[in-house]
Amino acid sequence: MFVVSIAGSPSVRSRSGVLLDRARRWLNGRGVEVASYQLRDFPAEDLLYARFDSPRILDLVEQVSRADGLVIATPVYKASIAGALKVLLDLLPERALNHKVVLPLATGGSNAHMLAVDYALKPVLGALKAQEVLHGVFAEDQQIAYASGDSPERLDEALERRLLDSLEHFHGALARRHRPHDRNLLATARWSV
Ligand SMILES: Cc1cc2nc3c(=O)[nH]c(=O)nc-3n(C[C@H](O)[C@H](O)[C@H](O)COP(=O)(O)O)c2cc1C
């Protein structure tokens, strides 16, 4: 299975990035290959001037087309998703997420805008024809502590549990998505189709 992850925060030190990194490590542990992209990988001018032919954008489009699923992380900015993430998603072809499963992750200063993913990100993923957009995970800043000194970053217990549940769900959705194409499975099936 192959997944593309997109870190939607423009910040170098990023709490939504911490969630995404956890997700990436968990998926790797399950044998899922993950290609990781960050907003900062893309030249700002390519994003601002909507350069559909930018080599970086074309590379992302190619990887997304190969992917079974995506994990997309965003901070909440002004009650919505990060503007630069929207600009990046605008550069994907119209059916880029056809047949793909998407797990959204978001962080915000408080839970006042915890529905931002539902009203600001999910419609965009729908417009890109995502097959299945999972419920996802929203975390408040206070639930994520950055690494410092010898201590690794820490998620509070409830958040850790929610993230693991979501990842299990995502992994299951990726596996279901794979099955219809698995010729070996059909060849060895003991039921008729
Ligand atoms: C420009 C800006 C706007 C923000 N607007 C909101 C907001 O409307 N609601 C909210 O809950 N948090 C808001 N925040 C807080 C961030 O969502 C929060 O700190 C988030 O975890 C940042 O994610 P990051 O560390 O991955 O960049 C804002 C932060 C910035 C810098």
pLDDT computed for residue 109 by the predictor: 97
Q: Does domain 2-188 have CATH number 3.40.50.970?
A: no
Q: How far is CA 122 from CA 54, 118, 161, 174, in A?
A: 25, 5, 23, 18
Output the six-digit token pair for 130: 């995502």
For the Cβ of 8 lying below 6 angstroms from any atom of ligand 1, the answer is no
Distance, CA 110 to ligand 1 centroid (Å)? 9
Contact 38, 65 (CB under 8 A): no
DSSP 8-state secondary structure symbol assigned to residue 68:
S
> Residues 139, 18, 65, 100: is their CA dihedral positive or negative?
negative
For the Cβ of 83 lying below 6 angstroms from any atom of ligand 1, the answer is no
Ligand 1 probe mutation, 72, 77, 85, 115, most atoms within 8 A of CB: 77
Distance, CA 73 to ligand 1 centroid (Å)? 12
Residue nearest to atom 29 of ligand 1 (CA): 77
> What ranges do the domains of the chain cover?
2-188
Q: Going by C-beta distance under 8 Å and a sequence separation of 6 or more, which residues neighbour residue 81?
A: 8, 74, 75, 106, 116, 117, 120, 121, 124
Contact 114, 104 (CB under 8 A): no
Distance, CA 66 to ligand 1 centroid (Å)? 31
Digit-by-digit pLDDT tens for the chain (193 residues) are 999 999 999 999 999 999 999 999 999 999 999 999 999 999 999 999 999 999 999 999 999 999 999 999 999 999 999 999 999 999 999 999 999 999 999 999 999 999 999 999 999 999 999 999 999 999 999 999 999 998 899 999 999 999 999 999 999 999 998 654 544 544 444 454 4
Q: Dihedral of the CA atoms 152, 117, 115, 162 (nearest 10)?
A: -40
Pick the atom of ligand 1 nearest to 111's CA.
11
